[in-house]
Amino acid sequence: MDIVGLFFVLAAFAGIITIQSRISRTDQRVARVERKLDLVLDHLGLQEDEPRMDEVLVLLRNGKKIEAIKVYREITGEGLKEAKEAVERLAERMV
């Protein structure tokens, strides 16, 4: 491969890394904003009703926390950590 071709491959690789980094930072910012919004809604006593949230609550009542987390992730599209934290908050409210 000549030097020009190598330069283009390296430039493309650098561009891909830059784009992935920006996407990652954007995802982190969106997650942070969502967590803050959840806290505000919680403080105001407001809840966003999700269509299958009752299923999550039933699973929690039956002691099936892992299944509840899976369903919560399906409903919300959240990551594993965020879903686990949210389901644990729901479990605390049920006590």
pLDDT of residue 88: 93
Locate 5 and state its tokens. 């071709």
55: CB partners within 8 A, 6+ apart: 71
DSSP 8-state symbol, 78:
-
Per-residue pLDDT of the chain (95 residues; tens, 9 = 90+): 588 888 888 888 888 888 888 888 888 888 888 888 888 888 888 776 666 788 999 999 999 999 999 999 998 888 999 999 999 998 888 77
pTM above 0.75, yes or no: no
